[in-house]
Amino acid sequence: MNMSKPEFLLNMRVARSLFGNQRVRADLPTANIADFSKDFSRAAIWLTPKSVEHFNAADFPELGEKQAELQDAVLAFRTIAKEVPPDEAATNEQLGNAKVAFERVLKIIEPYLPTHEESKDVETALTGIPFPDWVVTWDYELGNDEDETPAVWLNLYADEDTAPKGTLASTAAGLTRQLRKRLTDARINRWPYVRLRSAQKHKTL
Amino acid sequence: MHFHQDLLVLARQMVDRNAAQPIEAELRRAISTAYYALFHLLTHEGTARIVAAAHLRSRVARTFEHKFMNAVCKEFAAMQPNPAGQHVHPSGVLIPSGVITIASEFVTLQDSRLSADYDTAITWDHFEAEAIVASAELAFGEWQAVQADPGSDFFLVELWCRGIPKRS
């Protein structure tokens, strides 16, 4: 297997999580469409060329006629992603078109991104956590830590402009406690680590 | 100031120094320093309680092991409150919630320290590094509140004793 293929699939796995876990603020006045739009845009950190980085159509000969379809979808997505400056919000049109292209890519490569039973349980446990509004999306990784303890790393992508700098550590500590309890209640034997990351930086790296 | 306090100040200085255009190596050093600040706080406080002769404390401090401290901290951090909201160690000792937070932060900081020092595949940004330094500051603040609690003495002794083989 070409070394670019696993890297591309890893990028897509992360992007799929960021896409699926996007959050909009719950306290917005429903009539204010512009605010909703802004929230969707700030959460769309999957809309970056990095999501499809290392894609090489030649890595997928087994797809047959879908190989060209995958290439088209990736190119369409990459074109839109490159049009959006990393430090600016995407337009509604860009978001809509990127979403269509991204979902086309996901549909084709879905068999390469299996979700294991334990991952589903972990996701269920994570989904119920009431994250603060400044968390725009999240992702997680399973693995073993340095002590070989099974662990889950929860990456919370924060909107730096609205995240309260003075209380970040105590918020993270509180979320870690909640996460630990949820994992325990779900009988998931994994040590929780919460990492706060900049949503803006994810798009620019 | 004590060494651990100096380290915490240094971690904050390093993470704040180039906030607009941070140098990643400096962020990594800040994260590592934040971990060591908490590590040395705990070894300082532990030896101050365990060793009566002040001039021998630094020698005993060298026997604290990161790995065993991590294991003890995981045990404490995983404690769930009873229906009365109290954290009770299996040995029956009441543990203040501040110690639970400190234990949890120690595990997180050690994990971050190892990534910052050795994992070049991970990229660190200022926001993330700042949050990690802040978590060490949070742990220091919690220590101020619980240091006189008997449960804190118990925690410190566990941090040290866990690495000592028991007589069979």
Question: Residue B17 in contact with residue B26, Cβ under 8 Å?
Answer: yes
For residues B42 and B118, give the distance between their C-alpha atoms in angstroms, rounded to a whole number: 24
Q: How many CA atoms lie within 13 Å of B150's alpha carbon, on the beta-carbon side?
A: 5
pLDDT at B138 exceeding the cut of 90: yes
Confidence of residue B1 (pLDDT cuts 50, 70, 90): confident
pLDDT at B154 exceeding the cut of 90: yes
Q: Give the pLDDT of residue A205.
A: 67
Nearest chain A residue to B104 by CA distance is A173
Q: Give the pLDDT of residue B50.
A: 94
For residues B3 and B97, give the distance between their C-alpha atoms in angstroms, rounded to a whole number: 26
For chain A, give the mean pLDDT.
Answer: 87
pLDDT at B94 exceeding the cut of 60: yes
Q: Give the pLDDT of residue A30.
A: 57
State how far the alpha carbon of B48 is from the alpha carbons of A42, B52, B100, in Å: 50, 7, 21
pLDDT at B118 exceeding the cut of 90: yes
Q: Which of B104, B123, B124 to mutate to test the interface with A (most CBs of A within 10 A)?
A: B104
What interface predicted TM-score (ipTM) does this complex get? 0.89
Question: What distance in Å separates residue A68's CA from the closest CA in chain B?
Answer: 32
For residues A200 and B16, give the distance between their C-alpha atoms in angstroms, rounded to a whole number: 19
Mean pLDDT of B149-162: 96
- Closest residue by Cα to residue A39 from A90, A94, A97, A102: A90
| C-beta neighbour count of B118 within 10 angstroms | 11
Mean pLDDT of B53-78: 95
Confidence of residue B162 (pLDDT cuts 50, 70, 90): confident
Residues of B in contact with A149 (CB under 8 A): 74
pLDDT at A2 exceeding the cut of 60: no
Question: Residue B140 in contact with residue B6, Cβ under 8 Å?
Answer: no
Q: Which of A21-25, A184-188, B77-81 has the lowest mean pLDDT?
A: A21-25
Mean pLDDT of B149-165: 93
Mean pLDDT of A171-200: 91
* Residues of A (18-77) whose Cβ lies below 8 Å from B: none
Q: Give the pLDDT of residue A113.
A: 86
Mean pLDDT of B43-69: 95
Mean pLDDT of A139-144: 91
pLDDT at B17 exceeding the cut of 90: yes
- % residues pLDDT > 70 (chain A): 90
Residue with the larger pLDDT of the pair B123 and B26: B26
CB atoms B114 and A205 under 8 Å = no
List strand residue ranges (DSSP E) for chain B, in order.
87-88, 94-95
CB atoms A168 and B130 under 8 Å = yes
What is the DSSP-derived secondary structure letter of residue B52? S
Q: Give the pLDDT of residue A41.
A: 72
Residues A62-108: tens digit of each pLDDT: 999 999 999 999 999 999 999 988 778 888 899 999 999 999 999 99
pLDDT at B165 exceeding the cut of 90: no
State how far the alpha carbon of B18 is from the alpha carbons of A123, B21, B133, in Å: 37, 5, 15
Residue with the larger pLDDT of the pair A15 and A118: A15
Question: Residue A18 in contact with residue A46, Cβ under 8 Å?
Answer: yes
Q: Give the pLDDT of residue B37.
A: 98
- % residues pLDDT > 90 (chain B): 90
* Residues of A (157-186) whose Cβ lies below 8 Å from B: 158, 160, 163, 165, 168-170, 172-173, 176-177, 180-181, 184
Mean pLDDT of B31-57: 97
The two beta strands, A150-158 and A191-198, are parallel
How many beta-carbon pairs below 8 A join chains A and B?
Answer: 59
